[in-house]
Structure 1
Amino acid sequence: MNIVLYGINYSPELTGIGKYSGEMGEWLQRSGHQVSVITAPPYYPEWRVKEGFTGSRWHQADENGVRVTRCPLYVPREVNSLKRLLHLSSFALSSLFPLIAQLRNKPDLVILVAPTLFCAPGAWLLSKLSGATSVLHIQDYEVDALFGLGLAKPGILKRFAYATERFLLRRFDYLSTISSGMLKRAKEKGVPENRLVFFPNWSETHRFKDIRPCPDLLRKLGVPDGRRVLLYSGNMGDKQGLEQLIDAAERLQGNEDMFFLLVGEGSGKQRLLEKAKGLQLANVAFAPLQPYEDLPVLLASADVHLVVQKRGAADAVLPSKLTNILAVGGNAVITADSDTTLGLLCLDHPGIAVCIEPESVDALLTGINQAMKMPARNAIAQSYASEYLDKESILQRFIEEVSSDVAAR
C-alpha cells in the first residue's frame, strides 16, 4: 500500500508520540509499504528545534528508508494555552500544501496522529480527494486535556471546542486510540463502534528482558552509591503534576535510603529545578533524556518507577512510558482513579503495579512504601507486556484491521 503518515511529532524524538510514530513509519516501510511522512522538525520535549534541523523552512529527506517531509512551525520558548494553540495551528497551516501534494502518489491509506486535531480537515480532505481509507489515531484527547487540566476556562470556547471535536472525529473511516478508556470516550463523543480500533502503544519487549541494573549509569546521573532509586523518566510538562514529587522528596529528606532521580525535559522542568533548589533538597537529582539504547538499563536500575499524572488527565492522555516499565519488570506507582484505564489495569491484574489516588503526596508516599516491598523484578508486569504489548503483534494487527477495505475502494 501507499501510506501517508501525518503528525506533528516523529523520530528522532525520544519520548511520547514522536517515538511511536517514528517506529510505526519505519515498521510499515520494512513491511513492504511505501510510506510518506508529513511532520515537523523534532522539538519535543525540550520545546526547541533539535540541532541539525530547521523550524523555518520545508525540508525533505529519506530517514531510515522513509520519505519524510518536515514543515516549519512556531515553537514557543514558554508554553501557555494561547501559545500552544498558535504552535499547533502553525503546523497545520504549513503542512497543508505538502499534504495535499500527496495526491500525486495516490495514497491508499491516510493516518493522522493526534495531537493535533487542527490537522484533521487536511487529512480528511486528502483521503476524500484520493479515495484513500482515513484513520485518526488518538494519542491524546486535546480538548479533554485542555479543559480537564484547567489550561483553558469553560464557557463558549469549551462548547465550540467540543462541538468541533465531535464533528471531526466522525469524519474518519476509522478512529483508533491507545486504551479501553479512550475508546469508551470516543463512543461517548459519537463515533460508531464499528469504526473504533484498539491500537495501544507497544514495547520492543525483547530489548527489555533480562536487563541488570547498572550502578555506573546511576552514578553518572547523580545518584549516590547505595541508594534506592525512585525514578521518573519522561516529559516534564503540565499533565504530570510533578511538583508532588518534589513535595514527597522534602518529606523523605530524613530517609537516607531513598533518592529521587528525575530524567527528562519539558516546559515545567525549570520550575521543578527552582523548587528543589529552594528547598535545598539533597535527595533529588535531575538528568536529561537518555539515548534510547540506554533506556532498558536505566529502567532496570530503578527500584520504583513513578508514573504520575494529574487527575484531569486520566483517560484523556495515557503515559506511554508505562509500556517499557512493565516490559523490564519494574515496580510502578501509578496515580489514577480506580475507574480509569490505569486503575482498571491494576484491578484486573493484581500485583502489576501500585495504584494510588492522584494529586496526594500522602498517597504517593504510601504507594512508594508498598512498591519498595515488592520483588525486585515484577513477573506479573513482564508477563503482561509479553502477552499484550509486543510491538510486532500490535502493529501487524492494526494495519490488517484498518486496511481491510482498501482493496474494495
Structure 2
Amino acid sequence: MEKLTIITSYYPPEIGAASNRIHHLANALKDEYDVSVITPLPNYPTGKIFSEYKGRFSNTSHEDGVNVIRLWLYASKSKNKFLRLFAMLSYSLSLSWYFLWHKLPNRVLVQSPPLLVAFTCMLLLRSKRRKLILNVSDLWPSAGFELGALKKNFSYRLLQKLEKFNYKSADLILGQSNEILGHVKTITTKPDLFLYRNFPDIIPPKLEDSEKKEGDTLKIVYAGLLGFAQGILELCKKLNYENIELHIYGSGAEEEQIVTYIEQNKDLPIYFYGRVDRKDLHMVLLQYDITIIPLLNRIYGSVPSKIFEYAKLGLPMLYFGGGEGENIINNYNLGWVAQAGNYSDLNSVLTKIKITDLNTERKREIQKTAFKNFDFRAQIEKLLEIL
C-alpha cells in the first residue's frame, strides 16, 4: 500500500475544528494509503503539554489505523508575539530534525496555517518525485490582519512572501472555501485546486419529537473554542437577554474572563459548562433550540466547520460572521444571519425568531439538507481521484 504523510500542528486529543478536520481526513484516507500523521505533542488550547505526554521529546503510537508521530515543541498560549513565534519555530525545528533522519513518502499533505510550519515543510520536502499537497484552512497573514493580530509592516510583508512561496511550491492545494481558492489564483496558477469543505464524518443522534409553545424561553447554545476570534465575551456583554438564555461550552483564551463576567452578572441568564468531550457534545447540543456561530470580525476565506456539523445534527443556526458562511446558511435555509459585528442587528434578528417554528419537523429538514449536500464520503471519493 502506498504511503502518505500528513503534517499538522493540531491533532486529537486536542480539541477544535483544526484537529477534528485532520483526524477525519486521516481516517478517511487510511483505506487507500498507509497514513502517518506528524504533529506536536498535544498542547492546544491550554498552551501546556498534556499531562500524559509531559517530559517526552517525542511519542509514536498507532491510533485508529493511523501512525501518529508527536514531536516536541515549546508550548505557549501567551499573548506575547515573540513567545508565539518561538512556539512555532520550535515545532519547525523539530520537523527539520525529523526530516533529516527519516525518509518521507512521495505524497505529503501539509496543513496551513501556521505559515511558518508550512513553509518549513514546503522548503525542505520539495522534490521532483514527491507530490506536495497543501491544505489551506485560513488565509494568513490576511486573516491575522482582519483579526487585529497583525499590522501591515515588515513582518506582514515577510509572511506574505512565505504564503506565496507555499502556494507556488504545492502540486495540489485544498481550500476550505471558494474565497481561499480565488485568492490562491491571484498569486499562482501552478497547483491544481480542490474545494475541500470541512464536512464532518459523524453518525448523528436520532431527533426526538418535541414542540415549542408561544412564550417559551429561547435557549441559545455556543460550543467551541473561547478564543479572541470568536468574541464570546463580547457576545455575553452585548446580547439582549429578554426571553433568551445563553449556554456556553468550551475552553480557550477568554475562558477566565467569561467566567468572571458571569460571576459579576449573576442576574443574566448565562450558563457556562466548560469543556465537554466531542462524543458527548452532540447529545448535549440537541437539548437547545438554536446554536450561535459568531466571529468577532468577518474573516475573508473563513467558513466555520460548525455549519456543516450542526446541520447534520439538525440544529438551526444563527450565523454572525459574514462572508461565505453567510451564503451557505441562506442558500441551504439552515437558520438566520445577522450582520457581522453589528450587535443591534443580532438582537433584532433574535426578536424575529419564532419559538414555535423550532419544532422537530424544521430540524429534520435541516438534517435532510445536510445529508444531501454535505456528504463527507462523496467528497473523499472525489479527492482520491486527484491525489
Same fold, TM exceeding 0.5? yes
Q: Aligned residue for 1:200?
A: 197
Shift of 1:160: 2.2
- Counterpart code for 1:324: E
CA distance in 2, matches of 1:187, 1:58: 38
Deviation at 1:140, TM superposition (A): 2.0
2: distance between equivalents of 1:261 and 1:166? 41
Determine the structure 2 residue equivalent to 1:407: none
The answer to whether 1:211 aligns with 2:180 is no
Corresponding residue of 1:346: 329
Is the 1:59–1:71 contact (alpha carbons within 8 Å) kept by the matching residues of 2?
A: yes
Between the aligned partners of 2:308 and 2:190, the Cα distance in structure 1 is 26
Structure 2 SS opposite 1:387: helix
Q: Does structure 2 retain, via aligned residues, the 8 Å contact 1:47–1:267? A: no
Aligned match of 1:97:
97
**Secondary structure at the counterpart of residue 141 of structure 2:** helix
TM-score with structure 2 setting the length: 0.89
Moved more, 8-17 or 381-390: 381-390
- Aligned AA for 1:358? A
**2:126 is paired with a residue of what secondary structure?**
helix
Residue 292 of structure 1 is matched in structure 2 by 278
Corresponding residue for residue 363 of structure 2: 378
1:45 aligns with 2:45: yes
Cα separation, partners in 2 of 1:191 and 1:287, compared to 1, 3 Å:
farther
Q: TM-score, normalised by structure 1?
A: 0.85
CA distance in 2, matches of 1:329, 1:174: 33
Determine the C-alpha separation between the residues in 1 that align with 2:55 and 2:344. Answer: 43
Q: 2:306 aligns with which of 321, 344, 352?
A: 321
Residues 119 and 77 of structure 1: CA distance in aligned 2, closer, same or farther (over 3 Å)? closer
Residues 188-267 of structure 1: pairs in structure 2 closer than 5 A: 188=186, 190-192=187-189, 195-205=192-202, 207-208=203-204, 210-212=206-208, 228-249=218-239, 251-252=240-241, 255=242, 257-267=243-253
- SS for the counterpart of 1:234 is strand
Equivalent pair of 1:203/1:385 in contact (CA under 8 Å): no
CA drift at 1:8? 0.8
Give 1:232 shift: 0.5
Query: Could you tell me how far 1:168 is from its partner in structure 2?
Result: 1.9
How many residues were matched structurally? 378
CA contact (8 A) 2:78 2:84 kept: no
Q: 1:186 is matched with which residue?
A: 184
Residue aligning to 2:24: 23
User: What residue is the counterpart of 1:10 in the other structure?
Assistant: 11
Q: Is 1:362–2:344 an aligned residue pair?
A: yes
Confirm or deny: 8 A CA contact 2:10 2:19 kept in the other structure: yes
Q: Aligned residue for 2:106?
A: 108
What's 1:218 paired with?
none
**C-alpha distance in structure 2 between counterparts of 1:83 and 1:65, whole Å:** 35
Quote how far apart the aligned CAs of 1:396 are: 2.4
What letter is aligned with 1:208? Answer: P
Assess if the C-alpha contact under 8 Å between 1:244 and 1:361 holds in 2.
Answer: no
TM-aligned CA deviation for residue 238 of structure 1 = 1.5
Alignment of 1:78-93 (within 5 A): 78-93=78-93
CA separation of 1:161/1:194 partners in 2, compared to 1, >3 Å: closer, same or farther? closer
Q: Distance in 2 between matches of 1:307 and 1:80?
A: 27
* SS of residue paired to 1:52: helix
Mapping 1:115-194, distance limit 5 Å: 115-125=113-123, 127-129=125-127, 131-188=129-186, 190-192=187-189
- Using CA pairs under 8 Å that are at least 6 residues apart, name the structure with larger relative contact order, 1 or 2: 1
Cα distance in 2 for residues equivalent to 1:28 and 1:246 = 40
Match of 2:33 in 1: 33
Structure 1 counterpart of 2:224, one-letter code:
G
Pair 1:54 & 2:54 matched = yes
State the distance in 2 between where 1:384 and 1:133 align. Answer: 35
Out of 271, 274, 278, the residue aligned to residue 260 of structure 2 is 274
Q: For 1:77-127, what per-residue CA distance to the aligned partner results, in whole angstroms no more than 9, with x for missing partners?
A: 433433322222221111222245442x5x131000112221224422454
Question: Judging changes above 3 Å, is the alpha-carbon distance between structure 1 residues 387 and 82 closer, same or farther for their aligned structure 2 residues?
Answer: farther
After superposition, the C-alpha distances for 1:167-204 in whole angstroms (9 at most, x for unaligned) are: 2211100111111122222223x132761111111123
**1:145 alignment partner AA:** A
Match of 1:303 among 260, 271, 289: 289
SS at match of 1:170: helix
2:157 alignment partner AA: R
Structure 2 CA distance for aligned equivalents of residues 77 and 33 of structure 1: 34
Distance 1:94 1:384 in 2: 44
1:372 Cα deviation after fit: 4.3
Which portions of structure 1, spanning 4 or more consecutive aligned residues, are displaced by more than 4 angstroms? none
Q: Aligned equivalents of 2:324 and 2:342: distance in 1?
A: 19
Structure 1: distance between partners of 2:49 and 2:221: 27
Give 2:258's aligned amino acid.
L
Q: CA deviation at 1:212?
A: 3.5
- Once residues 213 and 102 of structure 1 are traced to their aligned partners in structure 2, the CA distance between those partners, rounded to angstroms, is 55
Structure 1 residue 357: deviation in Å? 0.9
CA offset at residue 128 of structure 1? 2.8
Structure 2 letter corresponding to 1:344: N
The 8 Å contact of residues 209 and 327 in structure 1, kept in 2 or not, is answered as no
Distance 1:173 1:51, change over 3 A: same
Percent of residue pairs identical: 19
- Cα deviation 1:140-175 (Å, max 9, x = unaligned): 223122111111222222222212211221110011
Kindly indicate whether the alpha-carbon contact (under 8 Å) linking 2:24 and 2:201 is maintained by their aligned counterparts in 1: no
Q: Which amino acid aligns with 1:78?
A: S
Distance in 1 (CA, whole Å) between partners of 2:191 and 2:154 is 32
| CA drift at 1:302 | 1.6
Closer, same or farther: CA 115–40 of 1 in aligned 2, 3 Å: same
